[in-house]
Amino acid sequence: MRPRIFITQPVSASAVARLRAVADVTMNPDMLHIVSKDELLQAARTHDVLFCLLHDRIDSEVIAANPHLQGICSTTITPADIDIAAATRLGIPVTVIPSSLLDDATADLAWALMFAVGRRVVEADRLARAGVIPGSQSNFLSAHGISGKTLGILGIGGVGRAMARRAAGFPIKRYYHDPRRLNTDDEAALGLTWLPFDELLGTVDYLSIHVNLNPQTRHLIGARELALMQPGAYLINTARGPLVDENALITALQAGRIAGAALDVFEHEPGIPQTLLGMPNVVVTAHMGSAVDSLREAMADVAVDNILAILAGKPAMNCWNPAIYATKA
C-alpha cells in the first residue's frame, strides 16, 4: 500500500508531482481556505504524513489522532504552531525549512514597505483610484521620504544583513542592535554602526524588525519602547506579529507618538484590528514575505525532501526534534 500524504494548501506543482510519484496525495485545493481543526483531525487519521504551512495549527489532539502518523513536514522556519513536545513524545519527526532561504525575499518586502509608508504610496494609490489628484506639487501628500534618513535594523541574522546590504545603495545612515554584536570587520563591510537597544529606538527614522519570536522576544516592542521612538519614526515588521504589542502600537499611532507603521505580520493572525486597517499612516500586507514563485517552489522542495527521507526510513535533513532519532536508535 502506498503511503498517504495530506497537503494543507496548494504548493508548487513540481513538488506535488515528486510526491505523487511515490505516494497517494490529497491536497486542499483552495489557496484562500485555511484548513480547520476538524479537517486536520480527519486528515491526520487517514494519512501517514502531514505537509503543512506556517498558518496551520497542529496541536496535540491532531498529532495523537493517528498512532501511525510518520511525520509532520512544514514550510515554516520555526514551528511555533506545532506541538513539538507532543510529537516528540510519540516519536514523530517535525521538519522545517532553512531560514536562509527567505533572507532576500523578506528583505525585499521590508524595503518595499519602507517606501510604501515613507512615501505614502498606498494613500496616493487610493486617492488616484478615487479620482483625487491633489496636484503634482500639492503638499497634500508630502511625505517623510527615505534619502538622508536613518535606518535601524533590529536583529542582524540573515534578513537583517540582507537589509543592510540593500541599504548600501541609498543615502541613508544604517544602525543596528543585536545582543550578539558583529565583529568590526563585518560591521564595516555592511556599513553598520551598533547601538544599544534603547538608543537605537530613539535614533532612527525607520525601525525594521528582524528578530526570532520566542518567549523572551514576545512584545519586544511595547508601550515603553514605542515611547522611546521619535515622533517622526516608522515601525516596519516583516518578522513575526507577536514581537509587537499590537494594542500598544495602536495607542502610540493614535496619540501621534510615532508617524506610522508598515506591517506584514500581526499579533493574532489572520485577524487584523479594524483600528489599524482604518489608519491612513499604516500599510498592511498579508504575511507575504516569502511570496516569490521561485522561493515558494524551493520551500516546497525542501519539505518534499524531508518527506521522502521519512518515507524511506531515514532521518529527515531539517528535523526540529532530532532527539526522536536517538530514542529510536
Distances (CA, A) of 148 to 40, 144, 211: 50, 10, 25
> How far is Cα 47 from Cα 108, in angstroms, rounded to an integer?
37
Residue 219 annotated among the catalytic residues of the structure: no
Residue type, 108: D
Q: Is 287 a catalytic residue?
A: yes
C-alpha cell read off for 138: 500639492
Cell of 181: 554584536
Alpha carbon distance 326, 150 (integer Å): 49
Contact 74, 53 (CB under 8 A): yes
Residue whose C-alpha is closest to residue 158's, from 235, 234, 239: 239
Concerning whether 199 is annotated as a catalytic residue, the answer is no
The sign one gets for the Cα dihedral 101, 103, 109, 113 is: positive
Of these residues, 210, 240, 257, 296, which one is catalytic?
A: 240
Residue carrying the nine cell digits 513536514: 73
Selected catalytic residue, list 120, 174, 287, 296: 287
User: Which candidate in 39, 123, 187, 269 is catalytic?
Assistant: 269
Spatial distance between the Cα atoms of 96 and 93, rounded to a whole number of angstroms: 10
Cell of residue 44, nine digits: 491526520
Which residues are known to be catalytic? 240, 269, 287
